[in-house]
Structure 1
Amino acid sequence: MKSLNYGIIGNCRSAALVSEKGAIDWCCLPRFDSPSVFARLLDEENGGHFSILTDRSYRIEQHYIENTSILSTRFDNGSDAFEVLDFMPRYLNESGDSYTPPEIIRHIRLLRGSPIFRVKYDPRLEYASEETFTYMKDAFIISLTNTKKFDSLFLYSDFDLEAITTGKEIALRKDGFFLMGYNEKIFVPTLERIRLEFERTKVYWLNWSDNTPSYQNYDAEINRSAITLKLLSYEKTGAVLAAATTSLPETIGEVRNWDYRFCWIRDASMVVKVLTSIGHRQQAKDYLRFVLDLLPDKDEKLQIMYGIHGEKKLTEEFLEHLSGYEGSRPVRIGNAAYEQRQHDIYGILMDVIHQQLTLFSNDIENGEEIWNITKGIVWVVGQHWQEPDKGIWEFRTEERHFTFSKVLCWTAIDRAVKVALLLGKREKARKWQPLADAIRKDILDNAWNDDIEAFTQSYGSSDLDASVLLMENYGFIEPWNPQYVSTVKAIGRDLSNDGLLYRYKNRDDFGLPSSSFTICTFWYINSLFKIGETDEAEALFEKLLSYSNHLGLFSEDLDFKTKRLLGNFPQAYSHLALIETAINLSTLTKEEKIIDALR
């Protein structure tokens, strides 16, 4: 059985996945949403990869250098040992700007003896849609296709280039390197330069992680998740990706697979709120700038998702030539969900805006533009909250009056009222409050089901839905309210499967889900904690953490039976919820000034 035992490396421009055996099986250059140069993840035979190969006598172990995104893969057979340090350079240059070239460095360090290894360097450009030609030049190896000769890939190394291209054995006598990049280098890299890039990147991540508060429990898990969320951000525009991959299926062999290399307003807003709460404010400033740039006109409606450069049309295509992850086809690029209507995005975005104004009221940028967005959101919600939508789970056919969507419509107006008061717009606040009250009454009148004693997925429904657990999180209802307590318990009885939660159990456009959407289990654990069931919450959290991969990373889904990771990877949703849950279950022990500043 294949596993998502991968580490992610990146520099907030692009990312790559490195297998537990040290093979780069997924990478898109020069940016996250570019065509892949390695895609063995989606096609074993034709996708392409960059592997370090040894004989079976070597034991392979892998870990991140603590508090960084630098991945160490160690090869050791007892007498001989070496280490591969994989990273994408990221640091501040002399002018204070971020240096994030579209390249990967594989720093090879001799640890002991005289190791022997081979290299399988097999790039397949343009999603492997046509033949890639790879050959040696004087100072590098170049890969290109016939149709896009300027869309090329360059590999530099201080190892023998012929040995690399032919796969001959390489005897390691001293440290060495591989530098693979989208651009030809002006100056040929040297080992000394590689070591400098390594140290600068290491220092950047150590400094970034130092801003994350420390906790008595789950400190390592919180920090790893925070770094992962940072790696899923696109610094150039402020966009935040849902995941680094496309087409990893929710269930093996089925068609539930999507391209997640885009910015969902919902996912990104949740990520930004969590990162801000643990001291990383710049992410929020960059993201709000991204949102403001999306809406140049006051009357322009917000889409549920955008490209990472703000692209508004994300046409979905099938890559028929790729066999898919374990044969799970089709492989998709683009995402047709961009055309859907989902009312919840307005509330989630307004929640982030309110957070930023509350925490940083004396240092908020773009105040007038934010006020314009606030007024626009109130107008849109006021016009459309009574209409059905596709809901948080993006049902591709039927629209309904989803409870979560209605709760987030209330959240949008509630936060808009609070923003108006913060900005001294008291008349607007008085004008908008009746709308918030009307939405609240509508939810309480229509979403509660007396027969099952719970708030349900949609109005008039008897189906339960894990998203309803967030009613408390957004302040719609108190955790001790008997209706909320009853809802949490009903969801636990109906949607839990060996400690993992269904999003819902009613059949959707593709049939009954057979895997657990990981964030839902985190939501449930949080809800148990909120209603006072702390022992059960802690036990379930420990159990869920044990299902991560060897590096503590989560994908979108978990198989109910095998507990294997499924879906796109790593998933921002999963890691933001991990942070929230871990903080709830932990105790802050130091750096309290950061938390005090955010209260």
Structure 2
Amino acid sequence: MNNLNYGIIGNCQSAALISEKGSIDWCCLPIFDSASVFAKLLDDKKGGSLSFKLTDDYRISQEYLWQTNILSTTYDNGVDAFQVIDFMPRYQQKDGSYYTPPDIIRFIRLLKGKPQFSIQYDPRLEYGSSKVFTTIEEEYIYSQTKDGKYDSLFLYSDLNYEDIVNQKTITLTSNAYLLVSYHEKLSQQSIDRCYLKFQRTKTYWMDWSEKTTSYPIYQNEIIRSALTLKVLSYEKSGAVLAAATTSLPETIGEVRNWDYRFCWIRDASMVIKVIADLGHPLSARKFLQFVIDTIPDKDEKIQIMYGINGERDLTESFLDHLDGYKNSKPVRIGNAAYIQKQNDIYGILMEVIYRQFVEFETTLENREELWTIIKGITKIVEEH
């Protein structure tokens, strides 16, 4: 697929795709399979995005911060330069829980000179299906739908709100921030607060990477792959997504474009096996708890895939108002493949369960529940 060059940020609740020019072109909030708030990826005009508009003399470079899921985009014209650090907060709190709000933070760091740019903030809620009204309030920029399904989005910043909304030229004279949030914040936002979230999130990802098994070759590539797999795991349920996107075509202009924001039992089991082998057995335990929670009855047949909260009915529908990636229609939500059979799901799932019994600690209750699932799988295999 040509020109599909995106970085991913996320916090195991949702994710966002950022183009090589620093435009947020895809994000669903508050969770992975929610309706999109930015979907330029699927329609240049109606999808919506958050980007920086600059003169053509700026050279743009991009990289992940070392061993993290934090993306850095640098804009430099030789005299003026600034860096945009993009992340979704994720870090452990004092009570042991993880802080993972449905937020995107863009920390704008002045590097040299007095760079100028305008901000193109164009949220299109509910997959761009409803008209969005944006107003400037005292503490934030507020966007909401007023026709169709109600939805809303908040933008906090220390830059001038009038300049942002009207896409006026901004001269950067110090560090700044943009914070896109699905929820209204109860505490006052500031650049210091955003910087603290950045440092805590960076520490979390670096600690996670440090616990990953080291190999003598290709270590950087292994870590990057592992970080991507981790960011596609859904904290709340333990599900593992096939992808954070929908409707990216297998071939440009054709109709084989599916919604992959679901948990395929076979594929997720393969991912979990790899993650566990890399030194993260907790991910295996969470995934198996998802399996237990999703398949509670002894006589229930295992579907090949489920929603990330265990949904069984994934009926497919079309978003006809969107043109699709490079005009590759239709844009789909849901996935009709959930009714298909896939007999190879059982072997890899059994291997993950076996390793849970043999290598990893489990509670007695979980062991009995897993044993019931094993017996159910055995019965299904015998019948075939």
Distance in 2 (alpha carbons) for counterparts of 1:341 and 1:19: 36
Query: Within the alignment, does 1:165 sit opposite 2:160 as a pair?
Result: no
Secondary structure of the corresponding residue to residue 7 of structure 2: strand
Q: How does 1:183-202 map to 2 (within 5 A)?
A: 183-202=183-202
8 A contact 2:109–2:175 mirrored in 1:
yes
**AA paired with 1:304?**
I
1:222 counterpart residue number: 222
- Mapped to 2, the partners of 1:58 and 1:218 lie a distance apart of 33
Shift of 1:187: 1.5
After superposition, what is the alpha-carbon deviation per residue over 1:529-575, rounded to whole angstroms, capped at 9, x for unaligned?
xxxxxxxxxxxxxxxxxxxxxxxxxxxxxxxxxxxxxxxxxxxxxxx
The Cα shift of 1:364 comes to 7.4
Distance in 1 separating the partners of 2:55 and 2:15: 28
Question: Alpha-carbon deviation of 1:148?
Answer: 6.2
The letter of the residue matching 2:24 is: I
User: Shift of residue 150 of structure 1?
Assistant: 5.3
Select the structure of larger CA radius of gyration: 1
Once the two structures are overlaid, the 10-residue window that deviates more, 33-42 or 361-370, is: 361-370
How far has the Cα of 1:48 moved from its partner?
0.4
Give the aligned partner of residue 57 of structure 2: 57
For structure 2, list consecutive stretches of 5 or more residues without a partner in the other structure. Answer: none
CA distance in structure 1 between the aligned counterparts of 2:365 and 2:154, rounded to whole angstroms: 41
Aligned to 1:22: 22
**Match for residue 353 of structure 2?**
353
- Contact (CA 8 Å) 1:357, 1:364: kept in 2 or not? no
Corresponding residue of 2:331 = 331
C-alpha separation in 1, matches of 2:183 and 2:265? 32
Residue deviations 1:178-218 (CA, integer Å, cap 9, x gap): 00000000112101101100000000001000111222211
Q: Is the 8 A contact 1:82 1:111 kept in 2?
A: yes
2:130 is aligned with 1:130: yes
The answer on 1:102 being equivalent to 2:110 is no
Per the alignment, do residues 109 and 208 of structure 1 end up closer, same or farther by CA in structure 2, a change over 3 Å counting? same
In the alignment, what sits opposite 2:44? Answer: 44
Q: Report the Cα offset of residue 363 of structure 1.
A: 6.9
* Shift of residue 347, structure 1, vs aligned partner: 1.4
Indicate if the aligned counterparts of 1:154 and 1:181 stay in contact, CA closer than 8 A: yes
Superposition TM-score, scaled by structure 2 size = 0.98
Deviation at 1:361, TM superposition (A): 5.7
What corresponds to 2:375 in structure 1? 375
Letter in structure 1 aligned against 2:151? D
User: What is the CA deviation profile of residues 218-265 of structure 1, one whole-angstrom value per residue up to 9, with x for unaligned ones?
Assistant: 111000000000010000000000001000000001111100000000
SS at 1:321 equivalent: coil
Closer/same/farther in 2, CA of residues 146 and 306 from structure 1, 3 Å limit: same
Cα distance between partner residues in 2 of 1:8 and 1:334: 22
Paired position in structure 2 for 1:444: none
- Which digits, 9 at most, give the CA deviation of each residue in 1:486-509, with x for residues without a partner? xxxxxxxxxxxxxxxxxxxxxxxx
Displacement of 1:147 = 3.7
- After TM superposition, list the pairs within 5 Å mapping 1:577-596 onto structure 2: none
Q: How many residues align?
A: 384
Q: Distance in 2 between matches of 1:165 and 1:225?
A: 37
C-alpha separation in 1, matches of 2:144 and 2:2: 30
SS at match of 1:63: strand
Map Cα deviations across residues 122-165 of structure 1 (whole Å, 9 max, x no partner).
00000001211112111110111114675210000000000000
Cα pair distance change 1:176/1:260, threshold 3 Å: same
Inter-CA distance 226–94: structure 2 relative to 1 (3 Å threshold): same
Point out where structure 1 has 5 or more consecutive residues left out of the alignment: 385-599
Q: Distance in 2 between matches of 1:308 and 1:355?
A: 23
What SS does structure 2 have at the residue aligned with 1:350? helix
Secondary structure of the structure 2 residue equivalent to 1:234: coil
Name 1:213's counterpart in structure 2.
213
The aligned residue for residue 557 of structure 1 is none
Contact 1:80 1:112 in 2 (8 A): yes
1:281 Cα deviation after fit: 1.0
Instruction: State the identity as a percent.
Output: 61
Deviation at 1:53, TM superposition (A): 1.5
Is 2:314 the partner of 1:308?
no
- Give CA-to-partner distance per residue, 1:404-424, whole Å, 9 cap, x none: xxxxxxxxxxxxxxxxxxxxx
Contact residue 281 and residue 360 of structure 2 kept, 8 A: no
Shift of 1:54: 1.1
Asked whether the equivalents of residues 90 and 100 of structure 1 are also in contact (C-alpha less than 8 Å), the reply is: yes
Tell me, yes or no, if the aligned pair for 2:250 and 2:256 is still in contact at 8 Å: yes
Q: Judging changes above 3 Å, is the alpha-carbon distance between structure 1 residues 169 and 344 closer, same or farther for their aligned structure 2 residues? A: same
* Counterpart for residue 178 of structure 2: 178
3-state secondary structure, aligned to 2:326: coil
Query: Which amino acid letter does the alignment assign opposite residue 278 of structure 2?
Result: I
**SS of equivalent to 1:215:** coil
Q: Which runs of 4+ in 1 moved over 4 A?
A: 361-365
1:354 positional shift: 1.2
Match of 2:33 in 1: 33
Per the alignment, residue 514 of structure 1 pairs with none
Code of the residue aligned with 2:40 in structure 1: it is R
Amino acid corresponding to residue 31 of structure 1 in structure 2: I
CA contact (8 A) 1:315 1:336 kept: yes
- Structure-2 separation of matches of 1:382 and 1:25: 47
In 1, Cα distance between equivalents of 2:250 and 2:150: 36
Aligned CA distance change for structure 1 residues 193 and 344 (closer, same or farther; 3 Å):
same
> Partners in 2 of 1:20 and 1:321 — Cα distance?
26
Which structure has more strand as a fraction of its residues? 2
CA 1:352–1:364 in 2, change beyond 3 Å: closer, same or farther?
farther
The CA distance in 1 between the partners of 2:369 and 2:49, in whole Å, is 45
* TM-score of the pair, normalised by structure 1: 0.63
Amino acid at match of 1:282: L
Q: Which residue of 2 aligns with 1:82?
A: 82
Alignment partner, residue 258 of structure 1: 258
Distance in 1 between the 2:211 and 2:122 partners?
39
Q: Deviations for 1:66-88, whole angstroms, at most 9, x for unmatched residues?
A: 00001000001111110000000
Q: Where does residue 8 of structure 2 map in the other structure?
A: 8
Residue matched to 2:272:
272
- Secondary structure of the structure 1 residue equivalent to 2:293: helix
Contact 1:356-1:364 within 8 A present in 2 as well = no
* Separation in 2, partners of 1:147, 1:284: 43
Give the direction of change, closer, same or farther, for the CA distance of 1:187–1:252 in structure 2 (3 Å limit).
Answer: same
Secondary structure of 1:381's counterpart equals: helix
Counterpart secondary structure, 1:200: helix
- Describe the shift of the 1:57–1:239 C-alpha distance in structure 2 as closer, same or farther (beyond 3 A): same
Alpha carbons 1:262, 1:307 under 8 Å: kept = yes
Q: In structure 2, the residue corresponding to 1:288 is in which secondary structure?
A: helix
Partner of 1:582: none
Aligned to 2:154: 154
